[in-house]
């Protein structure tokens, strides 16, 4: 099963107190960073809802072969360690829409009613593109994933198109009603505009935080791919979509770094799930070292970002 050195890892991965402790730590760190900015509680609520939906997604599709709340725990702790994510903005709802999109996408797996699920998935993506137009570029990638989910057919293809464009049709109808049709053009043009690559908007805290997420994604994504054969076929397909999403989002962030603060929370979702999958199912010397290293990295990241936040470096 596992040696004594992995007992703490096992208790954290499967214990009932892990999520409450993580929630308390998140509240403490959030309070420290936002003590004079209480309206930013909407950010905390949005990320709390995202963590709940992450648990629902993992539980519904049995993505991890044991009972665990570790995906939500890692997501909350990473959110807590990045004070620049605690600010309130419209992009706070993007993680909620992103996990809902994946939830509906997964429901289409070999489903005779895949068109309904894909309509909902692409509808969430369409709303997200209102807030962050660059996310519209994920549309063809989502269609690629429907092939592996065995849910792509003529009906589901057009259901996806209707779902993605529905928010824009509603916007079009509103401006027709207000006799201001020209106002809809900027929303459509944003979908096709590629902004100049500009890394000057990123700060040291952004680079450090992104590096930690990349480390987690790369290491634990690689470990998962090496042990994926142990999962059922459906689970392998769904988790590989998470791995690909990590790649797509990081690539998008490389090409459009000015959207980093909006894209990073989306990267945390697959990174948290894949990392949790490894720690909840692997108990050996390597996992013991990596678990302790991950804890040290989180504490270091938290202290570093709080220091930079308070002293405005």
pLDDT in tens, 53-75: 999 999 999 999 889 999 999 99
Pick from 195, 251, 202: nearest CA to 84 = 202
pLDDT band, residue 1 (cuts 50/70/90)? low
Secondary structure class of 295 (helix, strand, coil): helix
What percentage of the chain exceeds 70 in pLDDT?
A: 96
CA angle, residues 168, 124, 275, in degrees to nearest 5? 150
Q: How far is CA 133 from CA 24, 54, 80, 238, 282, in A?
A: 34, 24, 26, 25, 39
Secondary structure class of 173 (helix, strand, coil): helix
Q: What is the mean pLDDT of the chain?
A: 91
Distance from the Cα of residue 128 to its chain's centroid: 13
> Is the pLDDT reported for residue 215 higher than 80?
yes
* Structure-token pair, residue 194: 């590629």
Distance from the Cα of residue 292 to its chain's centroid: 24
* Most confident region among 96-100, 137-141, 307-311 by mean pLDDT: 96-100
Count of structural domains, the chain? 1
> Is the pLDDT reported for residue 2 higher than 60?
no
**Main-chain phi, psi angles of 109, to 5 degrees:** -55, 115
**Whether 287 contacts 190, CB under 8 Å:** no
Q: What is the C-alpha separation between 186 and 208, in angstroms, rounded?
A: 35
> Is the pLDDT reported for residue 87 higher than 80?
yes
* Structure-token pair, residue 134: 């660059």
CA angle, residues 112, 118, 122, in degrees to nearest 5? 175
Q: Averaged over 71-97, what is the pLDDT?
A: 94
Task: Give the pLDDT of residue 79.
Answer: 96
Please tell me the least confidently modeled range out of 189-198, 222-231, 296-305.
Answer: 189-198
> Is the pLDDT reported for residue 287 higher than 70?
yes
- Identify the domain containing residue 103 by its residue range: 4-311
CA angle, residues 200, 205, 211, in degrees to nearest 5? 95
pLDDT band, residue 158 (cuts 50/70/90)? very high
Q: Which residue has the higher pLDDT, 129 or 187?
A: 129
Altogether, the residues listed in the chain come to a count of 313
CA angle, residues 77, 70, 150, in degrees to nearest 5? 115
Pick from 296, 306, 280, 189: nearest CA to 227 = 280
pLDDT band, residue 188 (cuts 50/70/90)? confident
Q: What is the C-alpha separation between 149 and 278, in angstroms, rounded?
A: 23
Task: Give the pLDDT of residue 5.
Answer: 66
Alpha helix segments (H runs only) across the chain? 7-14, 18-33, 41-60, 70-80, 94-107, 114-131, 139-148, 154-177, 185-190, 204-227, 233-255, 260-281, 285-311
CB within 8 A of 17, min separation 6: which ones?
A: none
* Structure-token pair, residue 137: 């570029």
Q: What is the C-alpha separation between 111 and 278, in angstroms, rounded?
A: 29
**Whether 270 contacts 242, CB under 8 Å:** yes
Q: Beta-carbon neighbour count of residue 237 at 10 Å? A: 18
């Amino acid at each position: 099963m596992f040696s004594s050195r992995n007992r703490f890892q096992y208790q954290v991965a499967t214990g009932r107190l892990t999520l409450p402790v993580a929630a308390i730590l998140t509240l403490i760190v959030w309070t420290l960073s936002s003590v004079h900015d209480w309206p930013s509680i909407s950010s905390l609520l949005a990320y709390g809802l995202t963590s709940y939906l992450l648990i629902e997604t993992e539980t519904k599709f049995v993505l991890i072969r044991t009972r665990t709340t570790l995906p939500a725990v890692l997501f909350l702790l990473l959110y807590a360690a990045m004070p620049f994510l605690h600010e309130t903005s419209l992009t706070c709802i993007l993680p909620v829409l992103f996990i809902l999109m994946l939830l509906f996408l997964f429901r289409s797996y070999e489903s005779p009613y895949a068109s309904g699920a894909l309509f909902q998935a692409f509808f969430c993506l369409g709303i997200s593109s209102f807030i962050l137009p660059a996310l519209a570029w994920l549309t063809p990638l989502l269609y690629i994933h429907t092939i592996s989910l065995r849910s792509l057919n003529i009906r589901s293809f057009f259901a996806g198109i209707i779902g993605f464009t529905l928010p824009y049709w509603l916007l079009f109808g509103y401006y027709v009603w207000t006799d201001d049709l020209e106002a809809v053009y900027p929303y459509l043009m944003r979908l096709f505009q590629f902004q100049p690559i500009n890394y000057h908007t990123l700060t040291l805290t952004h680079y450090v935080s992104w590096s930690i997420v990349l480390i987690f994604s790369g290491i634990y994504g690689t470990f998962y791919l090496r042990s994926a054969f142990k999962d059922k076929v459906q689970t392998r397909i769904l988790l590989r979509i998470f791995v690909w999403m990590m790649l797509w989002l990081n690539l998008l962030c490389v090409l459009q770094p000015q959207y980093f603060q909006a894209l990073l929370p989306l990267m945390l979702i697959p990174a948290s799930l894949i990392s949790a999958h490894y720690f909840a199912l692997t108990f050996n010397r390597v996992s013991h070292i990596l678990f302790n290293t991950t804890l040290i990295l989180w504490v270091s990241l938290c202290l570093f970002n709080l220091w930079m936040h308070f002293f405005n470096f």
